[in-house]
């Protein structure tokens, strides 16, 4: 079938006779991923994404890391949300990162052995704004992949920034991501924007492992009734069904979990949170 059949400009195009795509000559450019250093060996790389900010993406990344570590896997977290890093706070990590004799960055290590690299761990003032242009931010994210002594990991989780801009593009083109988890809330507006990230992944042939619906409901402390926070439900499940991906979990808004994040004790998260995601990741990517 001619490539013209899927071209949006087919009806008005006057160059079909000479177009390389029409003649089958067009080829997608091959992506050449950045190589890891010799001191790092990583079995699987998973991105945690959302087109929208404020949906709990970093919470999902942190909990998933903690749960996988609890199950005996060696885990690392690359905080690619350069202008809004929150991973170190969730794990109670502070201080400047150092380098080894080969000038590779040595990750910070959490209480349960999770290796973390974030710009906030390279700054003296964690509240200082990062006013950088996209290419500089993208270059730093590449360095977090190539210039860090990750050691041997079963899985590296990449906490992505919101949107479909420079950093997601850099990650998908520079790092061999095995798949992504998409985090959303049940609002139609949010789901619409998250679907932009979903569609970007599809365009770049990045596998969508599954979805997580966060802040789905609250539980009444008196009667245990589940109260939806955003009215009608189903938009996240619909987005997952459209691409044949599972909805791993629906997570309630729980003040106790919020306190764990604020206090830097995310690794104390109780079992039961993200059970579906943990099981799904272990089954889907075989770690």
pLDDT > 60? residue 284: yes
Stretch 92-106: mean pLDDT, rounded? 93
Least confident of 124-128, 185-189, 199-203, 228-232: 228-232
Name the pLDDT band for 126 (thresholds 50, 70, 90): confident
pLDDT > 90? residue 153: yes
pLDDT > 70? residue 61: yes
pLDDT > 70? residue 115: yes
Residues 6+ apart with CB under 8 A from 128: none
The pLDDT assigned to 276 comes to 95
Compute the distance between CA of residue 245 and CA of residue 181 in angstroms, rounded to an integer: 10
CATH number of 42-285: 3.40.50.300
Handedness of CA 33, 203, 246, 118 (dihedral sign): positive
> On the CB side of 61, how many CA atoms lie within 13 Å of its CA?
34
pLDDT > 60? residue 133: yes
Q: Domain boundaries in the chain?
A: 42-285
Least confident of 121-125, 138-142, 171-175: 121-125
Name the pLDDT band for 178 (thresholds 50, 70, 90): very high
Compute the distance between CA of residue 122 and CA of residue 240 in angstroms, rounded to an integer: 37
CA 99 from centroid of its chain's CA atoms:
26
How many other C-beta atoms are found inside a 10 Å radius of the C-beta of residue 9?
Answer: 10
The pLDDT assigned to 16 comes to 60
Stretch 233-239: mean pLDDT, rounded? 86
Stretch 129-156: mean pLDDT, rounded? 95
pLDDT tens profile 8-60: 555 556 556 555 455 555 455 567 899 999 999 999 999 999 888 889 999 99
Residue 236: in which H helix or E strand, if any? Answer: helix 235-242
């Amino acid at each position: 079938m001619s490539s013209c059949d899927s071209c949006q400009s087919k009806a008005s195009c006057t160059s079909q006779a000479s177009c390389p795509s029409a003649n089958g000559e067009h080829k997608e450019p091959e992506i050449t991923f950045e190589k890891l250093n010799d001191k790092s060996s990583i079995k699987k790389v998973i991105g945690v994404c959302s087109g929208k900010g404020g949906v709990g993406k970093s919470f999902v990344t942190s909990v998933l890391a903690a749960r996988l570590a609890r199950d005996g896997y060696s885990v690392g977290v690359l905080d690619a949300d350069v202008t809004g890093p929150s991973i170190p706070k969730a794990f109670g990590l502070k201080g400047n990162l150092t380098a080894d004799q080969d000038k590779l960055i040595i990750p910070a290590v959490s209480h349960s052995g999770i290796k973390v690299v974030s710009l906030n761990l390279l700054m003296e003032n964690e509240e200082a704004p990062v006013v950088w242009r996209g290419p500089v931010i993208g270059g730093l994210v590449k360095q977090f992949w190539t210039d860090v002594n990750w050691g041997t990991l079963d899985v590296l989780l990449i906490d992505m920034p919101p949107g479909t801009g420079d950093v997601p593009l850099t990650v998908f083109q520079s790092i061999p991501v095995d798949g992504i988890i998409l985090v959303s809330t049940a609002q139609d507006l949010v789901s619409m924007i998250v679907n932009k990230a979903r569609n970007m992944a599809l365009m770049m042939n990045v596998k969508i492992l599954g979805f997580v619906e966060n802040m789905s409901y609250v539980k009444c402390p008196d009667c245990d009734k589940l109260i939806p926070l955003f009215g009608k439900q189903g938009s996240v499940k619909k987005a997952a069904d459209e691409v044949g991906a599972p909805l791993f979990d629906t997570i309630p808004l729980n003040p106790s979990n919020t306190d764990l994040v604020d206090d830097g004790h995310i690794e104390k998260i109780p079992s039961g949170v993200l059970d579906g995601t943990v099981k799904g990741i272990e089954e889907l990517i075989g770690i």
